Structure 1
Amino acid sequence: MAETFLVVDDSKLARMVVRQALRDLHPDCAILEAATGPEADQVDGVDTLTAAFIDFNMPDEDGLKLAARLRARRPDLPIAIVSANAQTDVLERARDLGAAFLEKPVSRDALAGFVAAPAAQRRSA
């Protein structure tokens, strides 16, 4: 079965960058996109996701609120918070949710490392 990734970011350009990097790494993958947390809540296929990449700074709510909802629904889902906001509070909140943190601009190598890591490593990264 092909991988399915969720990319949530209010920046269309940021979504395009992540989408292209994921397609380079996994040409047959499916990519679901949303611009906001509430929009992501409406995406079909959450139960089959391989991983989720969520921007922290979004207009309706911060990405950690969406990550918490996803974690409640899928405790084993690898989640990465993607943000230029690498403040201690954000990093700690991500860690408390079992989410990794990838700093923007996110690199193809960072995405590759996160996707390739065993689930236990992704949650503690």
Structure 2
Amino acid sequence: MVVAKALGRLRPDWLLMEATDADDALARVKEQAVHVALIDFNMPGTDGLSLAADLRKLWPAMPIAIISANVQDEIIARARALDATFVPKPLTDDALGSFLSGATLRLRRGAA
């Protein structure tokens, strides 16, 4: 809910799609185009890094953020290995805004 509220403040024109777990997320993104993924590391079933790996296989250029209060070097390194950005909790508008600005640039470059 914190991410949804922050995203609504920072990018009110963006459409938000939420999923209950990794399987639900994969099913949803296969049905409807998604341009950016904001993934909580802790989720039911598989962890957010596994979901990020699956998304990366399907969409190699998609901007992905792993959001977690579990700020460990191993998790940050695994996120970077997947070309995902690690965003620590508690989530701030500045941290999310920084990721979203980079994601917007990345998407523009991909469309050019």
TM-score bracket for the superposition, by shorter chain length: 0.7 to 0.9
Gaps of 5+ in 2: 108-112
Q: Distance in 2 between matches of 1:24 and 1:32?
A: 15
Q: TM-score normalised to the size of structure 2?
A: 0.85
Q: Distance in 2 between matches of 1:45 and 1:29?
A: 18
Q: Say which SS state the counterpart of residue 101 (structure 1) adopts.
A: strand
Q: Distance in 1 between matches of 2:55 and 2:64?
A: 9
In structure 2, what is the equivalent of residue 111 of structure 1? 96
- Given the alignment of the two structures, is residue 91 of structure 1 paired with residue 73 of structure 2, yes or no? no
Q: Which of 48, 53, 76 is 2:61 aligned to? A: 76
Measured after TM superposition, the shift of residue 44 of structure 1 is 4.2
Measured after TM superposition, the shift of residue 105 of structure 1 is 1.3
Q: Which amino acid aligns with 1:115?
A: L
Q: Say which SS state the counterpart of residue 78 (structure 2) adopts.
A: helix
Higher strand proportion: 1
Alignment identity in percent?
Answer: 45
Higher helix proportion: 2
In structure 1, what is the equivalent of residue 6 of structure 2? 21
**C-alpha contact (below 8 Å) 1:47/1:74 kept by paired residues:** no
Q: TM-score normalised to the size of structure 1?
A: 0.77
Q: Say which SS state the counterpart of residue 49 (structure 2) adopts.
A: helix
Q: Distance in 1 between matches of 2:40 and 2:31?
A: 17
